[in-house]
Structure 1
């Protein structure tokens, strides 16, 4: 037994150990204390440097100890890596300043908890950028709005390239952009703002072939002096001045893509891929330079980015290539950032107007209540499983714990940011993940009824449940992959989390749970596996009630759609529609929970609070966001409710949507592409009729969920984009399980009509449907009763989704499949290989 399963045991332990290593450390450690304890060489000397860095911060000479250490290293040309022999740097990198930059960034990274928290849980950094108009150029309001929206899209792409998850990027007024980055501090990352707002104008300019700047040398007409910094072979740094043409020969518009890579010596370089016109133009420019160099003076072509000369390579011959490279004295991180900026060039200049630290947007008590709700809902789910499956439920609980651990470990390893809605999504997905265990246990129950031993029932249960588990998870994985491919922002983030959850769920159920059961059952440790029965041996004619069910759901659909049309733009919250942002000064700081309670009592439905601290200032300010034209009125009501705070309005402006049109369109495209993928996969694995039934049921569930959500007077916000997509995954999962049983029954029952087969399949899976829905409902109801805000909306959406998904599996998906084949099983068999299989079986004389 142990020998046969040894590889599974080793695999499970290895994956669990890896997950733990990815999560440790769980919490952030202050940069100073981490650096002090990990300086293993000459610790006393480094401690003196840290004390000096701290003194600089106190004396306002540096924003943080991180920046102060950089300053000290640069001033004294001191290589700080000598104090950290455990952190290996490239031997070829000898420039002290760059070595220190890479070293300190790595120390900062290691001091952080591996699983970073989002703005709602931890806060971060925020800054406001203002678009500058070119002197003498008149820009109308429409052009300014278009340019600002384009800048928002580009900045979003750049931030994704930096690895920052779940940022908030939204327009303020008609010429400003607010950016909030979770888990980031400008004190420790002083370059982040510059990297985000860099215009990235790329020019290819000719270097003067024989003149160089020097005493008595005048600048030629049409040229300007540029300085090229370089690093020698021995790590020494230097600079060279050259005359470069003011007017470029070609610009970055002729670049289709760029990426960073190491060159043949391991030093970073940036590869530029040309467009078709760019390739032709580059060949023409290099040919002219090469021809001019035949006189004995080799020409050079300079690469200038935002006015800075990065490199000026020699041109010996015409270069008719699809790509070129930028080489220079920069680190790996600089090369990656440069490539990212080149891929997403801004065509407007942006000035920094404000920088401030942002506190958590969720109140401390809200975080605690949500945490308690998650614990309660998980305990209820485990209790539910224990009631129905006793020992099997305990095994499922262990599988759930393994699932959570591996999911968090993978998220930490890829640098995902954990937000409160993300935590809710994990818990809710976890509640649904018990479906795999329920499928297996229900199959085992059927095998035990046939008189099989517990050991045989275990193997048969897993074998027969496997196809349903595989198909339901693969279809959901298709949805997740399309979200990752087409989605941006919360859509893409949700897709990544969903994809991780699918793999961990299958591993926990098919490998971990089965391994534990095999160790319990095969040696005879347990003789029986008691399971509580619910809705067993039912014979409900579901197709008989289809007409009434369809009429009822159509009525609800029409009412929901009517509510959406009637309310119009009112269904959108601040994240989608924008609103007012009011800045307040205060005499007494109150907890966000107190502010929310006061707003609720005053009848204010939608309002967000966040404390922020402008950099360089000790006082905090309070920012309030409300729907349009309600900002000052809401503030007045809160002032009356909380006079002790002495709120004073410091400023007010209008903000745009943080969920822009691009994210909305990408979400819609993701849903449509997912439906097409589901249709193709189900038609391939099953048959076209099944695919049509699955798609119709999923569309029904999505529309019904949206309609009911609006009907209950709730508004759409950023987290709702992901939760609606979650419903699509849940719906298809439920439908596939039913279809898998119909396909099986068509093979096993050669004489039954299609109607009988469908009804039998629905009755056989009814117990599993009710138990799976019950576990998910427990979680959803618990969260609804104990949380508020985004988490409450997600839970409410899931509650509706569970009900609609269960309903559509019984009364939408299967009837559509039935009607598609005109109620004739021969029509199904003609389009798919589901003909019954016959096998020889021996009989005893007593039965003859």
Structure 2
């Protein structure tokens, strides 16, 4: 095997093996079985059996324990070091406290038992916790500021929860003083501290310690309180007591950043960075304490300047201060574990002003009902089968190669996501759909280029090499523009926008790798081995000569008229197009005697004209009867209950309560989504202007805006559709698809301008569009096969996303021909010299070559 093939094969094998290692196991393993098998120690197996017994006996009580928590409790109470049962697992030798060693090891074992690629709330459900703001603290806030303070608390909680991974939680207000948090893939039996971490106030204070009064021997001075610091790093706790000032010298509001760091002795500490005002205040107080220490040394009075660091009323440490500290930073030490240090830094970066109490905790079912998930799986199988059949029928052996490359692509995307411990949600799946679309598109581009080379009379080997060389810049530019969009989403986005951006960024990189390395490797191996002697495909639009520019004005005007109609309808129906995710609504809680499928509930409420509904089943954590929660638009909750009682009298429905819920897509997510799109379009304009020239950039941006507005307009024009949270991902999906299609056309125009130095701009554009029309149609067909399958066979939100994307495919293909190219043409007023004046590649004309030859005193035969 040639060396150039070997390194490609080896690289592909390593990457795929890496990704598969993170994808296995595909689902969570039983914790008890996993740790018992991993340890292999009979003594530890007996300990696990004890934990299983304790767990079983606790079920149904207020403090139900999982096997994991029961094992942790037994080990800590009996001072059993779990690490002794696991060979090869070593903890820091300086960490002698058994409880802390177990608290580090057991969470790692629990995490190791779970699948790396987790499922989101919309697919598998999770926990729902309702917090209530302390009414006494809320009463102290002026009435005009209460909504603002509640909104701040919601944003802070969302940022805290997001540190657990790309989990896309639901955080929204309930009533006037409650906040509901839904988190995917988490249970409080295994993670009892998560709720405390989320609601911790993180009130940080720096207080001066009395310089010489000792609580063991001296009475308490006026203005001071007694506090104690506990050091439990060893087997014996060491308690130090201090007299600390009641009033702080400095508070956490002056902290601009906090992050964990390993110190010089291998322990963990949290570093604090102050803002300018805080740095000055900290310097002043340390200067005062440093003077006390210096005086104590000189007079041998025993006085020392100590600065107590207090978090939520608990003394963390009281370091000695010897001099003024002017660097604007400090550190908190306290023998933290890694998880404790990370959680502390997170809460300090997002301090809550309002204290919260837990009032409800439930396990909730998936927000995307089982029937929607099942129908989505069925629709996906049909779509993939249809695309596979088409690719093989049209491209024959090339189609098989493309499908293998796409499978590799999806495996790599999922594997990389799993390596990040990402959560797979509906927006994330939308990103994978776009990845598959881009991967199929890239292979179609390659195959069409190879066909062109073969028609030019080249050998199969030369055609493959020439095809890949000529298509590289097209694939590179199309994917880089999409990558810019994903980077903006990652930087500015939150919730579904960020999840989509991560999946899309990974997908762009893997698409380029699979198209340019994997597909090429397979084709080269096939023809060098003699298995592939001819590259046969069907043929569509051979040698077409359509005058696209002839129709540019009527097509442009008709399309923008439709956009205008959609915008007008959007404005007139503005208050009615937003779903519960954006507006909030009513939530009714019902008991029942007969459990009905979510699809039956949804169909019955649709027949009663209730509008958008989200049925969810929930169960009290630790046991209790299952309840039904139905989310509807405002003032639709009670009518929904009445409609269900009438439709299913045998189900025994009874309303237990009703709340008003706020939007799950808050103002911050909406603002960041719009800002992301605007910034992405600006970056695309700059990139295309740099790689091509400004006219191309303007054409691409106008076409993308056209596709977004036209898709939204058509979506609103069709009755029965409302904007929901996943629709944000669907719109972003269209941005990526539209850009991909437009760049392909522009790259061919740029190439034809170089190849045809004497042709007019109009002719060049027509030639370019005729050259790529087969690719555009084929890509649209393959993508439509997938999206139409989801639209026809899918249900619920899957149907809405597929409907939106189907519109986007059509508008994206149309705009790349009749919007982007005409705008580029209009910008340059139909004059190719205007393009060449700023083009990155200016062709040399025959007369220029002749002039150069003549001036050099040589001759050249044409």
Please classify the TM superposition score into its range, dividing by the shorter chain length: over 0.9
Q: Which residues of 2 match residues 748-763 of structure 1 at below 5 A? A: 748-763=755-770
In the alignment, the residues of structure 2 paired with residue 735 and residue 451 of structure 1 have an alpha-carbon distance, to the nearest angstrom, of 29
SS of equivalent residue, structure 2 residue 176: coil
Asked if the contact 1:36/1:46 (under 8 Å) is kept, the reply is: no
| Per-residue CA distance 1:716-756 (angstroms, 9 max, x = gap) | 11101111011111111111110100100010001100000
| Per-residue CA distance 1:226-257 (angstroms, 9 max, x = gap) | 1212145x565322222111100000111110
Counterpart in 1 of 2:533? 527
Q: Which residues of 2 match residues 182-331 of structure 1 at below 5 A? A: 182-214=184-216, 217-232=218-233, 236-293=236-293, 294-296=295-297, 297-331=303-337
Q: How much has 1:110 moved relative to structure 2?
A: 1.1
| Per-residue CA distance 1:74-104 (angstroms, 9 max, x = gap) | 3222212222234332222221111111121
| Per-residue CA distance 1:377-425 (angstroms, 9 max, x = gap) | 1111111111221110100000110011011101111111112443344
Q: How much has 1:120 moved relative to structure 2?
A: 2.2
User: Which of 586, 590, 601 is the equivalent residue of 2:592?
Assistant: 586
In the alignment, the residues of structure 2 paired with residue 422 and residue 163 of structure 1 have an alpha-carbon distance, to the nearest angstrom, of 13
Instruction: Specify whether residues 367 and 62 from structure 1 end up closer, same or farther in structure 2 by C-alpha distance, changes over 3 A only.
Output: closer
Q: Which moved more, 1:189-198 or 1:39-48?
A: 39-48
Q: Which moved more, 1:724-733 or 1:596-605?
A: 596-605
Asked if the contact 2:375/2:795 (under 8 Å) is kept, the reply is: no
Counterpart in 2 of 1:443? 449
User: Which of 492, 496, 503 is the equivalent residue of 1:490?
Assistant: 496
Q: Which moved more, 1:608-617 or 1:702-711?
A: 608-617
Q: How much has 1:317 moved relative to structure 2?
A: 1.3
Q: How much has 1:65 moved relative to structure 2?
A: 2.4
Counterpart in 2 of 1:32? 32
Q: How much has 1:272 moved relative to structure 2?
A: 0.3
User: Which of 706, 713, 725 is the equivalent residue of 1:718?
Assistant: 725
Counterpart in 2 of 1:162? 164
In the alignment, the residues of structure 1 paired with residue 374 and residue 289 of structure 2 have an alpha-carbon distance, to the nearest angstrom, of 68
User: Which of 58, 73, 76 is the equivalent residue of 1:74?
Assistant: 76
Does residue 794 of structure 2 align to residue 792 of structure 1? no
In the alignment, the residues of structure 2 paired with residue 641 and residue 300 of structure 1 have an alpha-carbon distance, to the nearest angstrom, of 71
Instruction: Specify whether residues 394 and 75 from structure 1 end up closer, same or farther in structure 2 by C-alpha distance, changes over 3 A only.
Output: same
Asked if the contact 1:261/1:269 (under 8 Å) is kept, the reply is: yes
In the alignment, the residues of structure 2 paired with residue 463 and residue 164 of structure 1 have an alpha-carbon distance, to the nearest angstrom, of 37
Does residue 632 of structure 2 align to residue 626 of structure 1? yes
Q: Which residues of 2 match residues 134-173 of structure 1 at below 5 A? A: 134=136, 137-163=139-165, 165-173=167-175
Counterpart in 2 of 1:63? 65
Q: Which moved more, 1:77-86 or 1:400-409?
A: 77-86
User: Which of 792, 808, 826 is the equivalent residue of 1:801?
Assistant: 808
In the alignment, the residues of structure 1 paired with residue 60 and residue 147 of structure 2 have an alpha-carbon distance, to the nearest angstrom, of 43
In the alignment, the residues of structure 2 paired with residue 79 and residue 564 of structure 1 have an alpha-carbon distance, to the nearest angstrom, of 64
Gaps of 5+ in 1: 841-846
Does residue 670 of structure 2 align to residue 655 of structure 1? no
SS of equivalent residue, structure 2 residue 706: helix
SS of equivalent residue, structure 2 residue 121: coil
Counterpart in 2 of 1:843? none
Counterpart in 2 of 1:397? 403
SS of equivalent residue, structure 1 residue 653: strand
SS of equivalent residue, structure 1 residue 539: coil
In the alignment, the residues of structure 2 paired with residue 222 and residue 126 of structure 1 have an alpha-carbon distance, to the nearest angstrom, of 43
Q: How much has 1:135 moved relative to structure 2?
A: 5.7
Does residue 334 of structure 2 align to residue 332 of structure 1? no
SS of equivalent residue, structure 1 residue 82: helix
Q: Which moved more, 1:712-721 or 1:423-432?
A: 423-432
Q: How much has 1:428 moved relative to structure 2?
A: 4.3
SS of equivalent residue, structure 1 residue 314: coil
Q: Which residues of 2 match residues 490-529 of structure 1 at below 5 A? A: 490-529=496-535
In the alignment, the residues of structure 1 paired with residue 694 and residue 179 of structure 2 have an alpha-carbon distance, to the nearest angstrom, of 48
Counterpart in 1 of 2:7? 7
Normalising by structure 1, we get a TM-score of 0.96
Counterpart in 1 of 2:854? none
In the alignment, the residues of structure 1 paired with residue 434 and residue 604 of structure 2 have an alpha-carbon distance, to the nearest angstrom, of 30
In the alignment, the residues of structure 2 paired with residue 88 and residue 116 of structure 1 have an alpha-carbon distance, to the nearest angstrom, of 28
Asked if the contact 1:118/1:418 (under 8 Å) is kept, the reply is: yes
In the alignment, the residues of structure 2 paired with residue 596 and residue 432 of structure 1 have an alpha-carbon distance, to the nearest angstrom, of 35
In the alignment, the residues of structure 1 paired with residue 447 and residue 220 of structure 2 have an alpha-carbon distance, to the nearest angstrom, of 84
Counterpart in 2 of 1:735? 742
In the alignment, the residues of structure 2 paired with residue 269 and residue 454 of structure 1 have an alpha-carbon distance, to the nearest angstrom, of 63
Q: Which moved more, 1:236-245 or 1:106-115?
A: 236-245
Instruction: Specify whether residues 370 and 173 from structure 1 end up closer, same or farther in structure 2 by C-alpha distance, changes over 3 A only.
Output: same
Counterpart in 2 of 1:467? 473
SS of equivalent residue, structure 1 residue 199: coil
Q: Which moved more, 1:773-782 or 1:73-82?
A: 73-82
Does residue 123 of structure 2 align to residue 121 of structure 1? yes
Instruction: Specify whether residues 173 and 56 from structure 1 end up closer, same or farther in structure 2 by C-alpha distance, changes over 3 A only.
Output: same
In the alignment, the residues of structure 2 paired with residue 630 and residue 62 of structure 1 have an alpha-carbon distance, to the nearest angstrom, of 36
In the alignment, the residues of structure 2 paired with residue 209 and residue 104 of structure 1 have an alpha-carbon distance, to the nearest angstrom, of 42
Asked if the contact 1:56/1:68 (under 8 Å) is kept, the reply is: no
SS of equivalent residue, structure 1 residue 203: strand
In the alignment, the residues of structure 1 paired with residue 89 and residue 807 of structure 2 have an alpha-carbon distance, to the nearest angstrom, of 52
Q: How much has 1:52 moved relative to structure 2?
A: 4.8
Instruction: Specify whether residues 136 and 105 from structure 1 end up closer, same or farther in structure 2 by C-alpha distance, changes over 3 A only.
Output: closer
Asked if the contact 1:432/1:776 (under 8 Å) is kept, the reply is: no
User: Which of 701, 711, 727 is the equivalent residue of 1:705?
Assistant: 711
In the alignment, the residues of structure 1 paired with residue 166 and residue 126 of structure 2 have an alpha-carbon distance, to the nearest angstrom, of 11
User: Which of 825, 844, 848 is the equivalent residue of 2:832?
Assistant: 825
Normalising by structure 2, we get a TM-score of 0.95
Q: How much has 1:138 moved relative to structure 2?
A: 4.7
In the alignment, the residues of structure 2 paired with residue 436 and residue 138 of structure 1 have an alpha-carbon distance, to the nearest angstrom, of 61
Asked if the contact 2:202/2:347 (under 8 Å) is kept, the reply is: yes
Instruction: Specify whether residues 541 and 170 from structure 1 end up closer, same or farther in structure 2 by C-alpha distance, changes over 3 A only.
Output: same
Asked if the contact 1:578/1:654 (under 8 Å) is kept, the reply is: yes
User: Which of 574, 583, 593 is the equivalent residue of 2:580?
Assistant: 574
Gaps of 5+ in 2: 298-302, 850-860
Q: Which moved more, 1:775-784 or 1:636-645?
A: 636-645
In the alignment, the residues of structure 1 paired with residue 237 and residue 2 of structure 2 have an alpha-carbon distance, to the nearest angstrom, of 62
Q: Which residues of 2 match residues 532-547 of structure 1 at below 5 A? A: 532-547=538-553
Asked if the contact 1:432/1:775 (under 8 Å) is kept, the reply is: no
In the alignment, the residues of structure 1 paired with residue 384 and residue 839 of structure 2 have an alpha-carbon distance, to the nearest angstrom, of 41
SS of equivalent residue, structure 2 residue 567: helix
Paired residues in the alignment total 841
| Per-residue CA distance 1:29-81 (angstroms, 9 max, x = gap) | 22222233323233344245424533552484653222222222232222122
Counterpart in 2 of 1:844? none
Q: Which moved more, 1:809-818 or 1:70-79?
A: 70-79
SS of equivalent residue, structure 2 residue 739: helix
Counterpart in 1 of 2:855? none
Q: How much has 1:780 moved relative to structure 2?
A: 0.9
Does residue 51 of structure 2 align to residue 50 of structure 1? yes
Counterpart in 1 of 2:751? 744
SS of equivalent residue, structure 1 residue 121: helix
Does residue 695 of structure 2 align to residue 689 of structure 1? yes
The CA RMSD over aligned residues, in Å, is 1.9
In the alignment, the residues of structure 2 paired with residue 271 and residue 543 of structure 1 have an alpha-carbon distance, to the nearest angstrom, of 63
